[in-house]
């Protein structure tokens, strides 16, 4: 139709108005999302708005305090200002009841990041009654330095940037690229979260449709365990950009059609052709942007999904061959179900059914067991190892292991606490045994863990910046826990990451010893690694040996199949099959069981804590 606005870089595929059927499916989708507890109550929004207003007041107090300390004239302080911005799921309007509020504080140039970390924690503590703050953890040594705050039950991820100007007015527009001048890479990272989120909202035809569709896609991705760039899947921003692009192609559609078309378009897209929401902007700023013609690393990206703000970057740079393969299979499943929902009245709940990663998907798994003798040490160590899981996946992919079809990393780790009475039990716990797991401390998954150091260790390394160990703090803990006179029992903290191994049909061997050794070496060269404090053990496990806490109520655990009795032979085939996994470079769980019975090495038990994610 003449005069229709073009959204995005190409004309729309369809400008058709929604049908009565579309509206009916929309109501059903919203009802299902509400049934899945996907929307926050209105009281939550009011509480979060009040907290953001308080943070703005505290920010301006800090700006004034630092300005007076630096001797700035009162005329400058009167207009210095300071503003609070949000980004991520909260700014996009797709946050859930327990979502963090990603918050950016912007100050004028006379306030530094050191001022923020030196002053803001105390300002926050002094501003609320005792007991309203349950967490306040400043973390400076991250690619995006942050204060993790929980106030009145609301989780706030607080980051900071100053701009190279003397005044930050109310409701300042961060879209001007010139605001990036003079900022270092850390400040640009902080500011660009808000810039990207705001730009996405500006580039979609109908924000309400976009939000409902994005809620559905995020819930689908989380339930199917294909969410999180740390282990090689798209993250929240990448999914938002993909949904926004489909909205541009169907500008008048309602959410159910956007969801259906999302699966089809993303699956048949000519990857590695990039997805972007607007043409590349001309800028005089000399900033590195995604450019496969200029940067060899960019040319290797398999599913480029580009941010719509300068500098444009690929939000899906961690996707590898295996995770892309898993994505394509899940997109096909989603497309098939969405079609049935449209044509055969299948309920939306079928789209959001839990994955089958542990129940049916694989017969063989790699377990990456990380451990430390203190919680703080384990938080940082396990986060760092998690960030490198993708390198283990690509290492196996590129190792020439012809028997391996794909390596599928589960997108969460399992945190456990063990109570050990001697060093032998500690060794077994570090090796993956759950025989000594604390009965009164439930297993949690890494998405449930609130410790900011775990999250930032993982995210920092994914961004190419590794956290450093806290010197002093580590030393004290090591003296308390490694001292030979330490009292028993002692707690050991572990996190286990699982990777499903898809074998080529008929494969009888699995030699991945070299990529496993390389991965272990890559982890232990971390400057904060201490052989007396940390450990990493990698082993092979069968599906029927998986611990009980990776399953949820109602799931059927795999059981060991009884072998059919065959005519007697010289035993060559059977012996060869046993050797095939012993030669993989990993400890095989079946062999471990036998050795455990002789007191040599542990295996997992069936202790249940119900933590499966």
Per-residue model confidence as pLDDT tens digits over 224-234: 999 999 999 99
**Can 102 be counted among the known catalytic residues?**
yes
**Can 49 be counted among the known catalytic residues?**
no
The binding site for Mg(2+) consists of 100, 102, 157
Quote the DSSP letter at residue 127: H
**Can 89 be counted among the known catalytic residues?**
yes
Active-site hit among 44, 142, 148, 218: 218
Q: What confidence category does residue 356 fall into, taking pLDDT thresholds of 50, 70 and 90? A: very high
Active-site hit among 44, 87, 89, 412: 89
Instruction: From 106, 118, 109, select the one nearest 55 (Cα to Cα).
Output: 106
Q: How far apart are CA 165 and CA 169, in angstroms?
A: 11
The binding site for ATP consists of 100-102, 157, 218, 227, 236-237
pLDDT in tens, 81-113: 999 999 999 999 999 998 899 999 999 999 999
- Per-residue pLDDT at 186 exceeds 80: yes
Q: b/e for 379-391, b at 16 or more Cβ within 10 A?
A: bbbbbbbbbbbbb
- Could you give the maximum distance between any two Cα atoms of the chain, in Å? 96
Mean pLDDT along residues 167-182: 94
Active-site hit among 90, 143, 148, 227: 227
**Can 87 be counted among the known catalytic residues?**
no
Quote the DSSP letter at residue 565: P
Whole-model pTM above 0.85?
Answer: yes
CA angle 13/17/23 to nearest 5° reads 120
Least confident of 82-86, 136-140, 274-278: 136-140
- Per-residue pLDDT at 519 exceeds 60: yes
Report strand pairing: 534-542 vs 444-445.
unpaired
Instruction: From 446, 540, 563, select the one nearest 493 (Cα to Cα).
Output: 446
pLDDT in tens, 445-492: 987 544 444 455 545 445 544 444 443 333 334 434 444 556 899 999
Angstrom distances, CA of residue 284 to CA of 163, 182, 276, 331: 18, 13, 21, 39
pLDDT in tens, 544-594: 999 999 999 999 999 988 876 666 555 444 444 544 555 555 665 544 444
Active-site hit among 44, 87, 90, 102: 102
**SS3 at position 324:** helix
**Can 470 be counted among the known catalytic residues?**
no
**Can 142 be counted among the known catalytic residues?**
no
């Amino acid at each position: 139709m003449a005069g229709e606005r073009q959204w995005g870089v190409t004309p729309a595929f369809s400008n058709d108005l929604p049908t009565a059927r579309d509206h009916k499916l929309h109501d059903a989708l919203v009802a299902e999302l509400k049934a899945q507890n996907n929307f926050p109550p209105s009281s939550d929004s009011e509480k979060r708005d009040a907290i953001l207003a308080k943070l703005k007041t505290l920010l301006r107090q800090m700006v004034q305090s630092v300005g007076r300390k630096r001797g700035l004239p009162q005329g400058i302080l009167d207009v210095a200002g300071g503003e609070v911005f949000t980004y991520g799921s909260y700014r996009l309007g797709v946050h859930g009841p327990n979502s963090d509020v990603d918050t950016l504080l912007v100050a004028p140039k006379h306030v530094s990041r050191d001022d923020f970390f030196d002053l803001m924690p105390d300002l926050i503590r002094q501003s609320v009654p005792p007991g309203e703050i349950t967490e306040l953890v400043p973390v400076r040594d991250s690619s995006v330095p942050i204060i993790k705050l929980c106030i009145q039950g609301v989780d706030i991820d607080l980051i900071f940037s100053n701009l190279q100007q003397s005044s930050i007015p109310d409701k300042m527009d961060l879209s001007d690229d010139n605001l990036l001048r003079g900022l270092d890479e850390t400040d640009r990272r902080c500011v660009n979260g808000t810039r990207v989120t705001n730009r996405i909202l500006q580039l979609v035809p109908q924000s309400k449709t976009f939000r409902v569709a994005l809620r559905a896609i995020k819930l689908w991705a989380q339930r199917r365990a294909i969410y999180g760039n740390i282990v090689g899947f798209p993250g929240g921003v990448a999914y938002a950009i993909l949904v926004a692009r489909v909205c541009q192609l169907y500008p008048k559609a309602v959410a159910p059609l956007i969801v259906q078309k999302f699966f089809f378009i993303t699956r048949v897209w000519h990857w590695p052709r990039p997805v972007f929401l607007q043409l590349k902007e001309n800028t005089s700023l000399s900033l590195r942007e995604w450019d496969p013609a200029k940067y060899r690393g960019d040319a290797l990206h398999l599913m480029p999904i580009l941010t719509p703000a300068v500098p444009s970057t690929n939000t899906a740079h961690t996707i590898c061959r295996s995770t892309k393969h898993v994505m394509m299979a899940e997109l096909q499943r989603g497309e098939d179900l969405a079609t049935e929902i449209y044509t055969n009245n299948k309920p939306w709940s079928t789209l959001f059914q839990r994955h089958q990663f542990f129940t049916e998907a694989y017969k063989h798994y790699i377990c990456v067991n990380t451990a430390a003798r203190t919680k703080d040490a384990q938080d940082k160590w396990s986060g760092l190892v998690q960030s490198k899981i993708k390198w283990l996946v690509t290492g196996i992919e590129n190792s020439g292991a012809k028997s391996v079809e794909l390596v599928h990393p589960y997108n969460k780790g399992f945190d456990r606490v063990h109570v050990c009475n001697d060093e032998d039990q500690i060794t077994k716990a570090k090796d993956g045994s759950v025989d000594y797991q604390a009965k009164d401390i439930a297993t949690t998954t890494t998405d449930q863990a609130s410790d900011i150091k775990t999250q930032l260790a993982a995210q920092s390394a994914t961004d190419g910046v590794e956290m450093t160990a806290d010197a002093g703090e580590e030393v004290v803990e090591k003296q308390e826990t490694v001292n030979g006179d330490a009292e028993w029992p002692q707690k050991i903290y572990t996190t286990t990451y699982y990777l499903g191994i898809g074998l080529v049909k008929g494969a009888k061997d699995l030699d991945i010893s070299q990529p496993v050794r390389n991965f272990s070496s890559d982890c232990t060269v971390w400057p904060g690694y201490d052989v007396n404090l940390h450990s990493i053990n990698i082993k092979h496990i069968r599906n029927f040996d998986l611990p009980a806490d990776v399953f949820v109520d109602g799931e059927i655990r795999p059981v060991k199949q009884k072998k059919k009795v065959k005519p007697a032979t010289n035993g060559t085939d059977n012996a060869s099959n046993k050797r095939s996994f012993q030669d993989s470079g990993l400890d095989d769980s079946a062999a471990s069981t036998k050795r455990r019975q002789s007191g040599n090495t542990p295996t997992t038990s069936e202790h249940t804590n119900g933590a499966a994610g």
